Chain A
């Protein structure tokens, strides 16, 4: 926990909604290039933690450091994938993906275009480049939003329930895409999920969040083994994580009952 070389460092961070401290004096460090899965009960504060890390909201006390720089406002190099995606109805897939790049660089029109097409191809949505969001399927929208987030090559990627809103088949292909991109870019990644399988498939370290934002880490030795979804060991790992979570929940209950 007291890792000095950590890429992301939270020290004594608190955030409250009214009287309730959703995050209470949380200290946490995340290593560079590692993928973290964040699991926890609904309403426990996962999205709040993500918003703090993105710089959308500021801690009431304590500080967040990214790359040893104190976070005060959203960084260009932090990518955020929203659960509702947030694609603008007036932007075609091409325009959506182009926007972040166009905003922050002064590159020529032609090289902008080729970067966008590189990502369209990478996420297998080339055919959709002229379509508006209402002309795209759920999975295609997800890919457009992912490309829009990845095109600026973020060194820190936050995703709030990236696959909750899509069907099971599409879900697996999106997960595979995310995993492939993570391996390729070595991005530090923190994603929220309610799906233990997803946590075990995509997360190198699984973080369980409890009341007040307390976090327990579980390493995931299975992470990154090719096609690990087809092994019994994978499901054994899921079961282990599930047991771990239930144990943590019980701890929480004992804790709150003793209060």
Chain B
């Protein structure tokens, strides 16, 4: 009984089962060879686990490096845009123009500038997510009640203290929500970015299976990609729970 409850409390496990179930239903309803059976795919993935793991690791490192650099660039700009109204007045319209543009369209330009290798792929991901991070951080800063700044004034605080005790803690939940969206977009971008000039990456693995019309292999890649996503989202959840404990929310 207790065991059952632990399982039923595990959202990840439930999610996995529902996905499998939906997949199985679709598999039965749409009887086509382009959709492989879930069990068959999982077994295939299991037999291919080592090569697939290498692809996953290659993609994960690209995403991690890109997210790291996007944070280093985006957080200070976001804070500045949130604090400095003049800067924000010029910057926001620019942001709103850039934001909806499908940045993958710039991949050829980036490849021309930075070569075909990892650099252009990572820069593409940075280019795509950095605006998301800037926006999240800027809005986070703008949502700080002005009375909180008055409180800091009442303690005659230095600028540094304002960052340490007020701005950084206030924006960290916003950074995490920006990160979640960014990682989702990054993973989806891999499919496109890893199309060129690489033989490693889960995006490449899926695409090459597609061109080979090997649908079991292709679906095994998609499953691996979703595992990678879950892993990264879980890591963010843990990091968030650790660094913003006042902001508790279930799952």
User: B211 near A: Cβ within 8 Å?
Assistant: no
> Which residue of B is nearest A75, CB measured?
B156
- What distance in Å separates the Cβ of A152 from its nearest Cβ neighbour in chain B? 7
Among the listed B154, B158, B244, which residue makes an inter-chain contact with A56, where contact means beta carbons less than 8 Å apart?
B154
**CB-CB under 8 A for A82 and B246, given A56-B153, A56-B154, A103-B161:** no
Which residues does chain A contribute within 8 Å of B147, judged by CB atoms?
Answer: 82, 84, 86
Contact B148 A86 (CB under 8 A): yes
Size of B's binding interface in residues, CB under 8 A: 18
B residues near A, CB below 8 A?
A: 147-148, 150-151, 153-158, 161, 165-166, 169-170, 244, 246-247
Q: How far is the CA of A55 from the CA of B247 in the complex (A)?
A: 33
A-B contact pairs, 14 of them (CB 8 A): A54-B153, A55-B153, A73-B156, A82-B154, A86-B151, A88-B148, A88-B151, A90-B169, A90-B246, A90-B247, A99-B155, A99-B165, A103-B161, A103-B165
Which residues does chain B contribute within 8 Å of A79, judged by CB atoms?
Answer: 154
- What distance in Å separates the Cβ of A70 from its nearest Cβ neighbour in chain B? 16
Q: How far is the CA of A54 from the CA of B170 in the complex (A)?
A: 25
User: A36 near B: Cβ within 8 Å?
Assistant: no
Q: Which of B151, B154, B157, B244 has the most CB of A within 10 A?
A: B154
- What distance in Å separates the Cβ of B101 from its nearest Cβ neighbour in chain A? 35
- What distance in Å separates the Cβ of A99 from its nearest Cβ neighbour in chain B? 6
Contact B246 A103 (CB under 8 A): no
Q: How many interface contacts (CB-CB < 8 Å) are there between A and B?
A: 58
Contact B153 A74 (CB under 8 A): yes
Q: How far is the CA of A88 from the CA of B145 in the complex (A)?
A: 10
Q: How far is the CA of A72 from the CA of B7 in the complex (A)?
A: 63
Interface size class, chain A: 20 to 34
Q: How far is the CA of A134 from the CA of B247 in the complex (A)?
A: 10
**CB-CB under 8 A for A103 and B158, given A88-B169, A89-B246, A90-B244:** yes
Which residues does chain A contribute within 8 Å of B158, judged by CB atoms?
Answer: 103
Q: How far is the CA of A99 from the CA of B154 in the complex (A)?
A: 12
> Which residue of A is nearest B170, CB measured?
A90
Contact A80 B156 (CB under 8 A): no
Which residues does chain A contribute within 8 Å of B170, judged by CB atoms?
Answer: 88, 90
The A146-172 residues at the B interface (CB cut-off 8 A) are: 149, 152
> Which residue of A is nearest B172, CB measured?
A90
User: A76 near B: Cβ within 8 Å?
Assistant: yes
Contact B157 A103 (CB under 8 A): yes
Which residues does chain B contribute within 8 Å of A84, judged by CB atoms?
Answer: 147
**CB-CB under 8 A for A74 and B154, given A88-B148, A90-B170, A103-B161:** yes
User: A132 near B: Cβ within 8 Å?
Assistant: yes
Contacts A74-B155, A76-B155 known; 19 new A-B pairs at CB < 8 A: A56-B154, A74-B153, A75-B156, A76-B156, A78-B154, A86-B150, A88-B148, A88-B165, A88-B166, A88-B169, A88-B170, A89-B246, A90-B244, A90-B246, A91-B165, A92-B246, A103-B157, A103-B158, A103-B165
